[in-house]
Structure 1
Amino acid sequence: MRNIAMVVSYDGGAYQGFQSQPSGLTVQDELEKAIRRLSGQDVRLDGSGRTDAGVHAQGQVINFLSTSPIPVERWAIAMNGWLPHDIVVRSAHEMPEAFSSRKSAIRKTYRYSISTGKHPNVFNRRFRYHHYNPLDVEAMRVGIRHLLGEHDFSSFTSAGSTKKSHVRTVYEVRIERDGPDIHLFITGNGFLYNMVRIVVGTLLWVGEGKWKPDCIGPILAARDRSKAGPRAEAHGLVLWEVRYPEPFQMILDNDPASSLWP
């Protein structure tokens, strides 16, 4: 039995999230359908993260077990021939038996993108939350510093969270400007349900001047969802990158692909 891993990018706008569910079309459904058409096998794949409806990915990592003799270097091109245009397999790799795209992950990075200005950009509006009014980016940068380190993020998760513990560690968080666009990058050992979107919604209130930058600390300490800001729209969020322990990461990096993301 072979353990096949793939790095996948997708525009999540048309899907009810990554994970297969009875209520609608998902990215997992389309990937498993393509594998079935290609190999003749029914597989149940696993993903590094369960992105919500409307959320995108540049570097989603999946893995599945297969007895197919298809050479690993042919999987990506062959899969892309069967997949819809909004899902792309960037690379495929044969992994050790112990590798799990979900359980082996040690770091995940998300990017949330905001466009500012009077009019949205028609060419990237599917991947940006458009904010009509100016934002105080420096105030937002001050606010996000409070997120660094290990915290209980109960204030930044929706009521539907099923995790036993809400303690997570944020390793890095930064805001980059690119003309009218603002990109928030946040890297941690894991993320709760809607965590990044609630963080962004809270930072937007900081950027608008409704709340002071130092509000983030007390919100964390409260461990109460009602103390944080609103949940930002899904379409600005991208699962940017997933990292693994060195033996696994070396294999995944062996066939690097340039960013496909606008």
Structure 2
Amino acid sequence: MPRFRVTIEYDGSAYVGWQRQDNGASVQSAVEKAVFRLTGETVPVRGAGRTDSGVHAWGQVAHLDLTRAWKPETLRNALNAYLGQAGDRVSIIDAAAVGPEFDARFSALRRHYLYRILSRPAPLALEAKRAWWVSKTLDHQAMHAAAQMLIGRHDFTTFRSTHCQANSPVRTLDRLDVTRSGDLIEIRATAQSFLHNQIRSFAGTLKLVGEGRWTPADVRAALEARDRKACGPVAPPDGLYFMQVDY
């Protein structure tokens, strides 16, 4: 059966997350419904990563197997037409034919995420549900210095959800940079894989540093505690974006 790789952009605010669930609309089910309307086939669409309710994506990657060897551009355009008809805030950015050995999840070498914070006194209008509004001024340089305490291979028990299903809390974090442009603070994270709520836990903890309530040494101590109770608050999903997958 021909296998296709698709790159997907979505506004996660209207969905219970990427994964198909019984308690509401998911991005995965929206794409699968579009595939069914196009082909008449009930096909699982397997993503590179599971995003939670309210989390967005500019570059989620998934694969699916079809019985027909569609032209990739025809597949992309047809799926987008059906997604649009259904009123979904989901777009197929790109489609490509790949070999049967390609797996969107297990073939991934690195995943890239972005967390956006708008640090300003005024509440958000255009950026509501697109970023985390923090009314206080944050010191992004202190946040960046603290973020470097987390780089490398560590037991990240402190920064993962108690509901995380990963077999091990050990991960290698390749990048965690904090930059600022005007009111916008961006936290960019890169690793082969992440734990459940890991980036949102990072963001909430780094906010404490930006407010001057924690120091970089406090972040290092939290990491070494290997205790979920040592983590700062978990940041809301609004500011998190699944940006890209490297293969």
Q: Name the count of aligned residue pairs.
A: 244
| TM-score calculated relative to the size of structure 2 | 0.96
Q: 1:241 to 1:98 in 2, by over 3 A?
A: same
Q: Secondary structure at the match of 1:30?
A: helix
**Match of 1:253?**
none
**Match of 1:220?**
223
Whole-angstrom CA distance in 1 between matches of 2:206 and 2:51? 21
1:202 aligns with 2:205: yes
- Deviation >3 Å, runs of 4+: none
1:72 aligns with 2:72: yes
Q: Secondary structure at the match of 1:17?
A: coil
Matched-pair identity in %: 37
User: How far does the alpha carbon of each residue in 1:206-225 deviate from its partner, in whole angstroms, 9 at most, with x for none?
Assistant: 11111112212111111101
Q: Secondary structure at the match of 2:162?
A: coil
1:42 aligns with 2:31: no
User: How far does the alpha carbon of each residue in 1:134-158 deviate from its partner, in whole angstroms, 9 at most, with x for none?
Assistant: 0111110110001111111000001
Amino acid at match of 1:220: L
1:153 aligns with 2:161: no
1:176 aligns with 2:179: yes
Q: CA deviation at 1:85?
A: 4.5
Q: Contact 2:13–2:54 at 8 Å: present in 1 too? A: yes
Amino acid at match of 1:60: Q
Bigger mean CA deviation after superposition, 78-87 or 57-66: 78-87
Q: Secondary structure at the match of 2:129?
A: helix
1:82 aligns with 2:82: yes
Structure 2 stretches of 5 or more lacking a match?
Answer: none
Whole-angstrom CA distance in 1 between matches of 2:222 and 2:99? 42
User: How far does the alpha carbon of each residue in 1:157-176 deviate from its partner, in whole angstroms, 9 at most, with x for none?
Assistant: 01101111111111112112
1:140 aligns with 2:143: yes
**Match of 1:190?**
193
| TM-score calculated relative to the size of structure 1 | 0.91
1:109 aligns with 2:106: no
Tell me how large the CA RMSD over aligned residues is: 1.0
User: How far does the alpha carbon of each residue in 1:99-140 deviate from its partner, in whole angstroms, 9 at most, with x for none?
Assistant: 000111110111000001111342222211000010111110
User: How far does the alpha carbon of each residue in 1:194-245 deviate from its partner, in whole angstroms, 9 at most, with x for none?
Assistant: 000011000011111111122121111111010010100011000011111x
Whole-angstrom CA distance in 2 between matches of 1:67 and 1:233? 40
Whole-angstrom CA distance in 2 between matches of 1:64 and 1:181? 37
